[in-house]
Copies of this chain bind each other. A is one copy, B any other.
């Protein structure tokens, strides 16, 4: 990757002598920043193979603070993040993964199931940090704004937070793996979570054992990316 310099410049804004400044001093992002941001997107991976090295607590908090800047419907900030440290809780989570993964594998024919079993779909035993992510759909924050017609936008807000966390972590060399093969009821029970919260996903965080520009599912011959043009339409 070639070296380059890049800067972040203030907008040349109209700071009049009156008290009403219509425009705050917003940043302009340079082409170099844009280029490295694209590199970040290209090298973000769903990581399953972690070193066991710990993540410094300050580093974790810094990532969480950035994730917390994600957009949310009505500014409701409905994410609830549970840092899972207890070994009993972690063991139960790993067990629900094993159970659900065996069920999932059984849906495939023999040949595809063999390939399925070669895939590493979680890194629960190695990842130093586990974050169970929930949505509190009943939070008073936001006073219901924007979510009456489509209440699922609360869960969607939580997902936007996760994607923000993912990128902030990757910048610091920390991999994130979203484990989705989990029974939400079992997770609620294992972590003693209020019934009203909705389980969104379980994140493993840690330093990756390997770095790849291609998704593991592509390298393993399960599923590669396809052309974007197939996903664009016009009306």
Contact = CB atoms under 8 A, between A and B. Distances in A.
A64 B6 contact: no
A46 B71 contact: yes
Contacts of A192: 235
Interface string A9-21: 1110100000000
A26 B44 CA distance: 10
Interface in A70-120: 70-71, 73-77, 79-86, 89, 100, 103-104, 107-108, 112, 116, 119
Nearest to A200: B156
Contact of A37 (B23, B37, B104, B178): B37
B226 A24 contact: no
Contact of A160 (B26, B28, B163, B225): B163
B3 A156 contact: no
Interface string A199-235: 0110000000011110101100011111010011111
Interface of A: 1, 3-11, 13, 22-29, 33-34, 36-44, 46, 64-66, 68-71, 73-77, 79-86, 89, 100, 103-104, 107-108, 112, 116, 119, 121, 132, 141-150, 152-153, 155-156, 159-160, 162-164, 166-168, 170-173, 178, 180-184, 191-192, 200-201, 210-213, 215, 217-218, 222-226, 228, 231-235
